[in-house]
Amino acid sequence: MQKPKLKSVRGIVTLTPNPALDLGGAVDHLIPNEKSYVHDETRFPGGNAINAARMIHKMGLPVLAGGFLGGGIGQEVEDLLRREGVPSEFVKISASTRISVTVSNRKDHLQTRLSFPGPQILLHEVQELIRWLHRIQSGTVLVIGGSLPRGLTTVRLKPVIQSLQKRGVAVIMDMPALHLRPLLACRPLLIKPNQVEFQELTGEKRKSIPAVISAARKLTSRVSWVCVSSVEDGALLLNRHRAWYGQIPPIQVKTTVGAGDSMVGAMTSIFSQVDPTLWSSDELGEPLLRWGLAAAAATLITPGTQLGEFKKMLTFYRRIRVQELK
Ligand SMILES: Nc1ncnc2c1ncn2[C@@H]1O[C@H](COP(=O)(O)OP(=O)(O)OP(=O)(O)O)[C@@H](O)[C@H]1O
Ligand SMILES: [Mg+2]
């Protein structure tokens, strides 16, 4: 286990409660009851907030990745993060971290993703994580990403997040609707559901830009910024008064895995670079969406479960179309 670094990191902390080893590969075909041989095996550290941390690190900003890790798989995730240069400080658990599998069909490039539920977390491990969270300093941006493992409930997490916010920690949430819904009471700074997650969150099935805006606006009484990705080929960002819509230029998509996590990482970086008094400022709308989509585009053109490079993001930055919707 690495020595605690939390005291020296003020900028960005990520919490991935249920990380994964992302195992990737390519197959010629996937046929039920037949063996498929997997080629081009890749192994990356995974879980939504871990990916956000990796993107933030690629942008050259200090970040500390935390959550639960256990067993040999957990050790591999920690080693892979270290190899990428991402500082981490995970609570060690007795059960094993999960593996997520993504296989791409070589012919049509369609991906099959298998996501396992992950380990059961013990009470003393939850308590250790809560002590760790309480050490986060004011002015920090905390990203909570991905599902909650068995043993860590929103009921346990909610009071901790509320106390962090009272101390001036901004919380960004990228979580499944099931966990996000009860945690909205914590008044996160930003949430980033994709279209499907957004429909689950709001119960609204309509997909058009005006329909998503009107459903999302209802959430802005509890969330400063609502970003909904994959709305009519682009992403929407809105606050209480204003709304922006952004699209990436035509590209050859190699993978869609991690595009949203990359967006979250880039948007978090913006918040960490401005004074907390500006976190809800309208002026951030355009840059948040532009940097977010530039990061998504860089990841979309990068094969496998690798994330896009910052250099690629820079080339996309000017080419992202963002318009304010009146
Ligand atoms: N196939 C695609 N073609 C073009 N743009 C895409 C594609 N997939 C995603 N995008 C762009 O990237 C943004 C984020 O992607 P998406 O909505 O898939 O995130 P996500 O589902 O949260 O992903 P993940 O959780 O795997 O990181 C979208 O708003 C869209 O602009
Ligand atoms: Mg996502």
* pLDDT tens-place string over residues 301-312: 998 778 999 999
**Would you say the C-alpha torsion 18, 19, 21, 24 has a positive or negative sign?**
positive
pLDDT in tens, 130-141: 999 999 999 999
* Cα gap 167→144, rounded to integer Å: 17
- pLDDT of 150 reads 98
**Those residues with Cβ within 8 angstroms of residue 311's Cβ, 6 or more apart along the chain or in another chain:** none
Q: Write down the mean pLDDT value for the chain.
A: 94
**Ligand 1 geometric centre to CA of 80 (Å):** 24
Q: Which two tokens stand for residue 243?
A: 């709304």
Atom 25 in ligand 1: which residue has the minimum CA distance? 260
- pLDDT of 10 reads 59
pLDDT over threshold 60, residue 148: yes
- pLDDT of 255 reads 83
What is the enclosing helix (H) or strand (E) of 256? none
Q: Which residue type does 137 have?
A: Q
- pLDDT of 71 reads 98
* Cα gap 170→161, rounded to integer Å: 9
Q: Which of 113, 230, 247 to mutate to test the pocket of ligand 1 (most atoms within 8 A of CB)?
A: 230
Ligand nearest to the CA of 249: 1
**Those residues with Cβ within 8 angstroms of residue 130's Cβ, 6 or more apart along the chain or in another chain:** 156, 160
Q: Which two tokens stand for residue 21?
A: 């080893």
**Ligand 2 geometric centre to CA of 15 (Å):** 15
The mean pLDDT of 95-122, rounded to a whole number, is 93
Q: Which residues have C-beta atoms less than 6 Å from ligand 1?
A: 48, 194, 229-230, 234-235, 248, 253, 256-261, 263, 293, 296, 300
**Those residues with Cβ within 8 angstroms of residue 305's Cβ, 6 or more apart along the chain or in another chain:** 22, 24, 42, 44, 46, 102, 255, 257, 258
Q: Which of 113, 194, 305, 306 to mutate to test the pocket of ligand 1 (most atoms within 8 A of CB)?
A: 194
- pLDDT of 153 reads 97
Structure-model confidence comparison of residues 326 and 154, the more confident one: 154
Q: Which two tokens stand for residue 108?
A: 């049509």
For the CA of 246, the nearest atom of ligand 1: 31
* Cα gap 186→162, rounded to integer Å: 6
pTM: 0.95
**Ligand 1 geometric centre to CA of 291 (Å):** 14
**Ligand 1 geometric centre to CA of 111 (Å):** 14
pLDDT band at 273 (very low <50, low <70, confident <90, very high): very high
pLDDT over threshold 80, residue 246: yes
**Ligand 2 geometric centre to CA of 261 (Å):** 6
pLDDT over threshold 50, residue 3: no
Domains and CATH numbers, the chain: 16-325 (3.40.1190.20)
The mean pLDDT of 63-69, rounded to a whole number, is 98
Tell me how far CA of residue 136 lies from CA of 106, 130, 172, 188, 258, in angstroms: 44, 10, 14, 16, 26
User: Following CA atoms 79, 82, 86, 92 in sequence, which dihedral angle do they give, to the nearest 10 degrees?
Assistant: 50
